[in-house]
Amino acid sequence: MTAVRAFRIFAAEAFRDGLRRRLAFAVALVLAIGLAGAQSCTQLGIGSMEVNGEMIDGSVFGGFLAPILFGFQAWAVLAITGLLAADHLARPLAEGSAVLWLARPVSRGVWAAARLSGALGVALLCGVLLLGGTGSMLVLRQGVAIEPAFAAAAATALGALVVASLAMTASLALGRTAVILLVLLGLVFIAFANGVGLAAELAHPDIGVGGLIGAVDRYGPPLFTAIASAVAQWNPHLDPGDTYTQSMLRLAVWAVGGCLLLVAAFRTREIES
Amino acid sequence: MFSLELAGASKRYGRRHALASVDLAVPQGTSVGLLGANGAGKTTALRLLLGFARPTRGAARLRGLDPFDAASRRGVGYLPERLRLPQSMTLQRFLHLHAALAGLEGAELVHEIDAVTEMTGVRDRLHEPVDGLSKGLAQRAGFAQALLGQPEVLLLDEPTSGLDPLGVRDARGWIESAHARGATVLVSSHVLSEVERTCESVVILREGRIAASGALEALLQPGESLEDLFVRAVAGREAPGPPKHREGREAPGPPKHRDGREAPGPPDGLGG
């Protein structure tokens, strides 16, 4: 039994396990609401309209609508990832079904990575449906370019890996409710810190944000910055510069660190039998 | 090479010693009963051997390897005391996954699943969800997964739990046949009669320490049952006889040799 084969077996099972959970219904509901929202928001087609006697090209609206809508949906995908990962590793450990798997010739790291992949697989499937649907509507109805959608989707996928690995690591020490609260509050706080950082960068590039918010923005996982700098390309008035590349590199570092932390934490954990 | 080893292994939870300097070496092909009162450290010993926990002091080895090395669990079958089968999975898929993890592939995998489900009497339940099986059937399913691939080491924690008398007799047969083909079998159990019938050696734990260990025939005095030995080792006193008569006459004393000598305390054998 090679580690790769064991990983494939466990990852496929973890993915099925994710789809079978009751939470999957809630996730499906969020997806339906998200797509219905996108359908509603993108119904305003391309064309010109008169506002206070002035003719405005419809693509101007697309330049504002697309970043906000796509950014919000990407954020929803990250939240869904956190909810799925909050107990995807901890639940089989608490139930006791994990001991049978871990008594097989499989390293703990392989099993933890497979559970992470399973949760991430379900989250990314949601991401493909939600972001793919929203992106398609924006491109077809608003006439915006497709490249920023791919860039933002890549940032969301990398961000999801960071969120899932950190949420799973936290779930080895905290209960499910605590992890969910941590994920949601963490996402809101990082979005706020990244938003403040981006606003300060646009308004006063020479002045950095200080304090905890500044530290989170500079050293924390740039979840919001990476997505925002990708979708900002839809708006001709915003110039994200090389923020996207820098954010993706930092996200990649956080993703690797999160996975290593998860494996290290799980290796030291004692398994109840 | 020893299949199972604990070398001065201690495990502490806070101030409580679950195991204290336990030495144990089980040679390949031996069947050993691990006995002890509740909280004596039986399950902790199994957890150390399987790499589910690290000893606070000392070392554990499974098939000569560190149990935290995944390779040590190759050829190991395990049945936990609190068997929790995964949710929403058919018995067939459950066994298929375990067979694959045990290194079986293709026709051999299919044949092995057929063989163990036939043997454990769950073949007609293959398409049912494992979490919906009755306790007895779940225990049989647990046995089926533990026996997949003819493991060379079989670790069984309370294996007859939840089984009806027929199931208990069947389980005894599975354990005996595994032992007969050369597997090392460690049975942790409270059911002394089963251990007496299936194991050639016993290790009795008391408060995390080995109170007695060795071959059954060497430990048991003539006329003494395993229960007598257990009480002597665990309670630290001679096996109680029948209650005293009301008028104060002594009930028969502890087991004695036929020549009238009192049975000595338990000698050491497997343990250190």
3-state SS, residue B188? strand
Q: Is A246 on the interface with B (CB under 8 A)?
A: no
Count of C-beta atoms within a 10 Å radius of residue B269: 16
Chain B residues near residue A92 by CB distance under 8 angstroms:
86
CA-to-CA distance for B232 and B212, rounded, in angstroms?
A: 9
CA-to-CA distance for A117 and A104, rounded, in angstroms?
A: 19
Q: Is A107 on the interface with B (CB under 8 A)?
A: yes
Q: What is the pLDDT of residues A27-36, one digit of tens each?
A: 888 889 999 9
Determine which of B13, B52, B90, B93 to mutate to test the interface with A (most A C-beta atoms within 10 Å). Answer: B52
Calculate mean pLDDT across residues A145-169. 96
Farthest CA pair distance, chain B: 73
Helix (H), strand (E), coil (C) string for A117-150: HHHHHHHHHHHHHHHHHHHHHHHHHHCCCCHHHH
Res. B255 pLDDT band, cuts 50 70 90: very low
Q: Tell me how close the Cα of A99 comes to any Cα of chain B, in angstroms.
A: 8
Q: For chain A, where are the alpha helices, taking DSSP H only?
A: 3-20, 23-41, 58-85, 90-95, 98-102, 108-137, 147-171, 176-203, 211-219, 223-231, 243-268
Chain A residues near residue B84 by CB distance under 8 angstroms:
95-97, 99
CA-to-CA distance for A89 and A166, rounded, in angstroms?
A: 12
Chain B residues near residue A5 by CB distance under 8 angstroms:
100
Is the pLDDT at B246 greater than 50? The verdict is no
Which of residues B15 and A212 earns the better pLDDT score?
A212
pLDDT at A58: 66
CA-to-CA distance for B197 and B191, rounded, in angstroms?
A: 10
In A, minimum Cα distance to B93 occurs at: A13
Q: Tell me how close the Cα of A196 comes to any Cα of chain B, in angstroms.
A: 45
pLDDT at B238: 53
Q: Tell me how close the Cα of A270 comes to any Cα of chain B, in angstroms.
A: 5
Q: Minimal CA–CA distance to B162: which of B192, B148, B142?
A: B142
So what's the ipTM on this one?
A: 0.82
- If residue B219 lies in a helix (H) or strand (E), which one and from where to where? helix B216-219
Is the pLDDT at A189 greater than 80? The verdict is yes
Residues 6+ apart with CB under 8 A from B129: B87, B88, B89, B90, B91
CB atoms B70 and A106 under 8 Å: yes
Is the pLDDT at A109 greater than 50? The verdict is yes
- Interface residues of B toward A, Cβ cutoff 8 Å, are 43, 46-47, 50, 52-54, 68, 70-74, 76, 78, 80-88, 97-98, 100-103, 142, 145, 155, 157
Cα–Cα distances (Å) from B70 to A249, A254, B18, B95, in that order, read 34, 28, 25, 20
Structure tokens at A33: 């609401």
